[in-house]
Structure 1
Amino acid sequence: MNTTGILAAPRRRVRPGPYIRIVAGVVFCFIFLFPLLWMFLTSLKEQRDIFTMPPTLFFTPTLESYVTYLQRPDIWRRLVNTVIVAVGSGIVSVIAGGMAGYALARIKLRGARTIGLLIILSRGVPPIALAVPMFLVARKLGLTDKHITLILAYCTFLIPYVMWLMRGFFLALPKELEESAMLDGCSRFGAFFKIIVPISLPGLLSTMIFSMILAWEELLFALVLTNRKASTIPVAIQGIAGDTINGANWGALTAVGTITVIPVIIFALIVQKWLIQGLADGATKG
């Protein structure tokens, strides 16, 4: 009697779906990260290697571009300015946008939906249409080339973004939380700061992180409203890109670009726990 067919274990069918998703994820990650990798590799090349045709991945690395531009004091000053402006605008926009989002989510106002739509539609206004009037007002008040001017300018496009994100978080929270606190003697502000803010802290942190990243990379307002004292890193990159008398200095561009991107990557890695938690809470609650 042939028992081979009886004793043989059934073969499990291999489903290609998970492997296809993994391969697709790797391919898309490579596509999105390749420009950053190429920028970093270019920053390590000498000028003659940068213009080699066809481009090569094998070269003798050098830190000449980094050494040349890190020795310039304006790069460090602009990096500090970028940190000050990004953190300041992120904090101010989260405070103002969070309170505005809570008002739209909880307080019954006539025309609240229209007000919210008008605020979010302000994001569609071309930035140059706001930059020139801001410059004229700042010059009239003697506030040109100041950190506070740039922070307030960034808040004009960050606050609508924060407001609508936080409105979704607040709508997902049960109203009974504030109502029970107000029955115990809390005011509306007390219930907001003592009950709602601690619960929504992951959402506030993730929104502030995105706001800081948006402020970190902004160029137009920094170019129009600053000159030397409050100038940021994107302005330095634009200045290098605009100096094309002897040809584009790609080594300097990619070196300063890498210096600009590295702090954002490090910051994102440090706060990824709160960022992922905030995004997950927003997805499940919204």
Structure 2
Amino acid sequence: MLKMEHLRKTYGTFSLDCSLEIRPGCVTGLVGQNGSGKSTTFKAALGLISAESGTVRVLGKNPREFDVKDRQELGVVLADSGFSGYLTVKDIVQILKHLYGKFDKAFFLEQVKRHKLPENRKIKEFSTGMKAKLKVITAVSHDARLLILDEPTAGLDVVARDEVLELLREFMEKEEERAILISSHISSDLETLCDDLYMIHEGRIIMHEDTDVLLSDYGLLKVSEKQYADMEKQYILRYKKETFGYSCLTNQVQFYRENYPGVAIEKGTVDEVIMMMIKGVA
């Protein structure tokens, strides 16, 4: 569905070198700190910026060679884009009818009603959360094969985020040959939605893992200096000095549970893995 191989782009002191692959039937998350390269990766995938080297293929083609029909196969939400504030939902319906041959007007209006978006108010009067919902509803309303969503739940409260995530799950359930690439700074969204996760830091992919594996096999070992000195370190991915000794990130929790019963082990979360991969020592 989407494949990048060593796609390189430089902005001043920032340099992106990204490789990733989005498979059919999968929801793939891209996580990282602000400024790590997530938005640049999304724009490169859409052909909105020119890369200096490397390759990107979206639905089998270079996105810079897409024609109108190809672009109708994509549903896109970018953090820094949206509709004119002077339009209403009713205005947008007319625009989408002409933009997308497979635009489902009935479904769109059903979702607008479901998410309590006013049809006759100008978008500039919408809250941040209402604007975010409208962008996602638009992305899933024209039978796209691939969604590329950059921070689609930004600005939403807990209930609204859950509603949007349910909308994305329903999108995936309708067709097997669909896929989603999504970024979010709210890790709990990705833990419940994504099949796999890529972690990006300073423009480089530093980890790729199935979400189920990350949540089941990864963990934090809390050990004293003596315990750290005595333990097998083959499966330690990162470690960090603490006041009590060391925190250690491992992807082999069961090994340490069986061989070091006295060691305190905490279940890994996406946030904790990100923190250790960035701040920990290899």
- If the length of structure 1 is used for normalisation, what is the TM-score? 0.20
Higher relative contact order (CA 8 A, sep 6+): 1
Which has more strand, going by share of residues? 2
Task: Give me the TM-score of the superposition, normalised by structure 2.
Answer: 0.20
